[in-house]
Structure 1
Amino acid sequence: MPLAGCFGNDDRPVQIVAIGDPQSLFSADARMPHAARLLRGATVEGLVGFDDEGNVAPALADRWIVTDDGLSYIFRLRDGKWGDKSDISAESAQTALQQAIAAQRGQPLGANLAVIDEVRAMAGRVIEISLQQPMPDFLQLLAQPELGLVHARRGAGPMTSKRASDSELRLSGVLLAPIAPEDRGLPPEEGWQEHTRKLRFSASGAEAALKLFAQGDIDLVLGGTFADFPRIASSGVSRGAIRMDPVQGLFGLAVVHADGLLSLAENREAIAMAIDREALAALISLGGWVATNRVVNPGLDGDNGSIAERWLGRTIEERRALATSRIARWRAAGRPVTPLRVAMPGGPGNDLLFERIAEDLKAIGLDSRRVSAAADADLRLVDVVARYPAAAWFLDQLACSAANTVCNPTADQLVVKALGEPDAVKRADLYASAEAQLTITNSYIPFGVPVRWSLISASINGFAPNRWAIHPLMPMAILPR
């Protein structure tokens, strides 16, 4: 099946595949897989959303104001209707937003949303959200697909969806069609039908997605990670088709159990010291990758610069010598050391990653074995892109309430205290103290920033690499005039 022309509204939908389990597209879990987040963003608008460059854009709210103290966000809803044709009102939007927030309790995103003090319906189509403290990136948080508003079990667009399989390509997914502006409570646009197109959106394993892209059967592959990056070299895909997202986030190992060897923070630090981060990028020939051994990526909102990279001035050999002495001391006391179970998903990138980790651990006298991502483990790979560029996001991901791993209650208390601190300088100090606590605990062993990539053909428009690795589908359905 040949690719569509660069532009033009023909009968062939644009074929888009997100890497993931085919059924992940329809997941109803609170912690949505990547494909499900993209589908929700296309069919269930929130008060605000994202444009193709990852900037916050109007959605159900066509405009808003923020009070001078940063504690109140007031949104004016557009004059539109829900999927069941009832009016979008402040009261119905308030209920839908409260339900979306409640669904995230106990999830990392729920910890981020703790900054919200109250959601109020005001006169007409006006909603006010009051915060416990100023949050410069609050609109970024509100634009997350999980906070799309559902009324009568349906969203308000901007696209309609229906299940549609492609038997020739063996893809099951959905057919997405843009909703006309006048049907969304917006001014009509002349020539709308001639300047829009349908999308067929599916989820598939990386190997199949790359093969179909190389053959010209699909137009865009989304959601690539470190795990599958090495597949590109042998897929026949041109390097010019690759787009890397300049993301930040967590990419490292979380300590799952604090028992045996891992019961001591100094032994957990020994593992962290053994990892040769500079060698990781070479595994998959990835230039420009940013390594770090900090919990919080440097230079973000709430990072006051008081936390530095660890073990400055020590070579990898010096670090490993110290780590080896700690493991030897544990053994000398007659305590057992069993192979560490390391859980991570499949994929050639992760195959190489585990081999590298196993070699690094062997250098300090530890054996390891790999287990599946869902299996019980001692160490588990964390690979998550930041939702917004602030220290609070990183700390919330590793909170006791959100992570099924070793955690630090003192760090959580400091984050809660920061949430109620109105002074920005003091708040940053509290976040730094929380990071210091997690650093001392050694419950998370950072490698660096995550890796995210896409493959894009000449037929695609409305796509741009961005810091969040989120690529809304609606802009891809709009053709340039």
Structure 2
Amino acid sequence: MRLSHPLALLCAALALVLAGCSGGGGDRVDVVFIGEAGELEQSGLRLSPAGQHLRAATAEGLVALDAAGGVVPAVAERWVVTDDGLSYIFRLRNSAWDDGEQIEAEHVRDELRAVLRRLRGTSLGLDLAKVSEVRAMTGRVIEIRLTSPLPDLLQILAQPELGLRRAGAGMGPMIATDVENGWLLQPSPPETRGLPEVAEWNERIRQIFLRVLPADEAVAAFDAGAADLVLNGTLANLPLADVGALSRGTVRLDAALGLFGLRVRSGEGLLADAARREALAMAIDRPQLLQPFNIGGWVPTTRIVAPGLPDDIGTIDERWSDLSLEARRGLAARRIAGWVSGEDGRVARVTLALPPGPGSDMLFARLANDFAAIGVTLDREDDPAQADLVLVDRVARYGAPRWFLNQFACSLDGGLCVPEADARVEEALSAQNTIVRAALYAEAEAELAASNVYIPIGAPIRWSLVRGGVEGFQENRWNIHPLLPLAMRPI
């Protein structure tokens, strides 16, 4: 992370004390992430949403994401892609590391190779499995070669975990100072990052004070004027946004892409058979499940991969579309009753782990009613490691079937999995033909769906509180809200 020297630390701390509440239009923007203490920790690669945003602000990668979620140049000023889609060639801008040494292609190559090694065993590592070679071509040119085309490579390279750091220090675009209860961030002058100088730079920027609070405290801080922007709201805490916040700001919903459903962790008892796991999936009244939350535009789905993505050849449909809810539940109830009657003492009961929050309480009540309709009792379990089912609530890194399928890879040990689906995804690593690759992804999704190791519900919910006067915030499907645009005053 790029940190300031001791004198700057003292000045930044003083500025923090003097700035007070900014109201979104002063010299500072107060940004609060919903989360728990320690989520701004920057060691390792498994970062919280707050940690991802801090990393992105202090350690750019070859490319980055802008406020709208689009890919923009960062350490690489431009790039070309070969016609076969197997080679991405980046030209680095003329910039320096934190210690003043010029950034060379060899440095970037070595850092990217190290990051790829560290990412092994993670879902992001699986997303990058098509990278076969990273090499330095000349002093400021680097090439990334692939085993087969990966149209979303730039989107993946823009992820905060791919930010370039040396000896723990990144290259901006912001300087972060550790202060009490959070971090103070200030935009770096463009000329220090190899970009053209901007006249009257200091008059065009504001500081960002970044901290993490539990959901109720974050909303209270917003209502009290002590926060200008609250990020990382989920369904678990959405009801809190209705308590006073609407009178002082705006609740903004990202049309997020990703997974929202139940992952089966236990393969014993009632859940040992795919047909009985399907019974639980059939019991859910998806259109009505989130009705109490009054979320406009939310679309439920029974598919694992979000419909309509590139590489979706249209062979996978919504499940049980020819059956009414009553017919689905009747079939599901007979399967459950058959299992219960098969042996004395059997009880149709499963446990579910949900994050704490009033939204989770409402979701649990709805699911418990749905499962009761087929003769299954649902109990709440606090420890996900001990639960039969766990909620998956995850925003996609990029919009392709591969991301969705990689979340259920057996190597990640996240619950029941399907080796046959993994095998199809592995085959797609070397598939050069677009249609063949898409067909392999469809086969993998079909294998996962038939096994019912995951019960899809719909897209994830992400919300923010944005005070009037805050510039640089835009909704986007990745739930990424870069800090640098928030620090720029309107021209």
User: Which TM-score band applies after superposition, normalised by the shorter structure?
Assistant: over 0.9
Q: Secondary structure at the match of 1:382?
A: strand
2:344 paired with 1:370: no
Deviation by residue 1:375-412 (Cα, 9 ceiling, x = unmatched): 41100000001111101110001111124200000000
Match of 1:93 among 88, 108, 119: 108
2:139 paired with 1:121: no
State the match for 1:69 in structure 2: 84
- After the TM superposition, which of the residue ranges 324-333 and 235-244 deviates more from structure 2? 235-244
Q: Distance in 2 between matches of 1:279 and 1:25?
A: 36
State the match for 1:247 in structure 2: 256
Superposed displacement of residue 27, structure 1: 4.8
Q: Distance in 2 between matches of 1:220 and 1:110?
A: 32
Deviation by residue 1:352-381 (Cα, 9 ceiling, x = unmatched): 111111111111111121112544110000
Query: Aligned partner of 2:255: which letter?
Result: P
2:483 paired with 1:473: yes
The alignment's C-alpha RMSD in Å is: 1.5
State the match for 2:52 in structure 1: 37
Query: Aligned partner of 2:252: which letter?
Result: R
Superposed displacement of residue 455, structure 1: 0.8
8 Å CA contact 1:22–1:203 kept in 2: the answer is yes
Q: Report 1:145-156 matches (<5 A).
A: 145-156=160-171
Q: Report 1:421-440 matches (<5 A).
A: 421-440=431-450
Superposed displacement of residue 467, structure 1: 1.0
Deviation by residue 1:310-341 (Cα, 9 ceiling, x = unmatched): 00121111111101100111112106235311
Q: Distance in 1 between matches of 2:350 and 2:44?
A: 30
Match of 1:233 among 229, 232, 242: 242
The structure-2 alpha-carbon separation of the partners of 1:93 and 1:458, relative to structure 1 and needing over 3 Å to count, comes to same
The structure-2 alpha-carbon separation of the partners of 1:54 and 1:236, relative to structure 1 and needing over 3 Å to count, comes to closer
Q: Secondary structure at the match of 2:360?
A: helix
Give the paired residue count: 472
Deviation by residue 1:25-52 (Cα, 9 ceiling, x = unmatched): 1153432111100100100110000111
8 Å CA contact 1:250–1:385 kept in 2: the answer is yes
Superposed displacement of residue 453, structure 1: 0.9
- After the TM superposition, which of the residue ranges 368-377 and 179-188 deviates more from structure 2? 368-377
Deviation by residue 1:439-479 (Cα, 9 ceiling, x = unmatched): 00000000000001111112311111011010010111111
8 Å CA contact 1:84–1:152 kept in 2: the answer is no
* TM value normalised by structure 1: 0.95
Deviation by residue 1:265-292 (Cα, 9 ceiling, x = unmatched): 0010001001111112212111211100
State the match for 2:119 in structure 1: 104
Superposed displacement of residue 197, structure 1: 1.1
State the match for 2:351 in structure 1: 341
Query: Aligned partner of 1:306: which letter?
Result: T
Q: Distance in 1 between matches of 2:159 and 2:80?
A: 19
Q: Distance in 2 between matches of 1:397 and 1:41?
A: 23
Query: Aligned partner of 2:100: which letter?
Result: K
Match of 1:288 among 280, 291, 297: 297
2:222 paired with 1:222: no
Q: Secondary structure at the match of 2:210?
A: strand
State the match for 2:98 in structure 1: 83
Superposed displacement of residue 157, structure 1: 0.8
Q: Distance in 2 between matches of 1:239 and 1:212?
A: 11
Match of 2:178 among 144, 150, 163: 163
Superposed displacement of residue 302, structure 1: 1.4
Q: Distance in 2 between matches of 1:239 and 1:272?
A: 40
Superposed displacement of residue 149, structure 1: 1.0
State the match for 2:215 in structure 1: 206
Query: Aligned partner of 1:4: which letter?
Result: S
Q: Distance in 1 between matches of 2:84 and 2:60?
A: 27
8 Å CA contact 2:249–2:468 kept in 1: the answer is no
8 Å CA contact 2:89–2:141 kept in 1: the answer is yes
Q: Report 1:322-341 matches (<5 A).
A: 322-334=331-343, 336-337=346-347, 339-341=349-351
- After the TM superposition, which of the residue ranges 452-461 and 434-443 deviates more from structure 2? 452-461
8 Å CA contact 2:69–2:476 kept in 1: the answer is yes
2:39 paired with 1:24: yes
Q: Secondary structure at the match of 1:289?
A: coil
8 Å CA contact 1:342–1:381 kept in 2: the answer is yes
Q: Secondary structure at the match of 1:450?
A: coil
Query: Aligned partner of 2:174: which letter?
Result: M
8 Å CA contact 2:56–2:160 kept in 1: the answer is yes
State the match for 1:195 in structure 2: 204
Q: Secondary structure at the match of 1:194?
A: helix
Q: Secondary structure at the match of 1:183?
A: helix
State the match for 1:169 in structure 2: none
Deviation by residue 1:400-431 (Cα, 9 ceiling, x = unmatched): 11242000000000001111111101111111
What are structure 2's unaligned runs of at least 5 residues? 1-18
* TM value normalised by structure 2: 0.93
8 Å CA contact 1:46–1:142 kept in 2: the answer is yes
Q: Distance in 2 between matches of 1:200 and 1:177?
A: 9
Superposed displacement of residue 119, structure 1: 0.6
Q: Distance in 2 between matches of 1:341 and 1:85?
A: 55
8 Å CA contact 2:235–2:462 kept in 1: the answer is yes
8 Å CA contact 2:206–2:488 kept in 1: the answer is yes
- After the TM superposition, which of the residue ranges 328-337 and 351-360 deviates more from structure 2? 328-337
2:141 paired with 1:141: no
Q: Distance in 1 between matches of 2:252 and 2:24?
A: 18
Q: Secondary structure at the match of 1:401?
A: helix
8 Å CA contact 2:234–2:461 kept in 1: the answer is yes
The structure-2 alpha-carbon separation of the partners of 1:462 and 1:448, relative to structure 1 and needing over 3 Å to count, comes to same
Superposed displacement of residue 5, structure 1: 6.1
2:13 paired with 1:4: no
Q: Distance in 2 between matches of 1:143 and 1:32?
A: 15
State the match for 1:175 in structure 2: 184
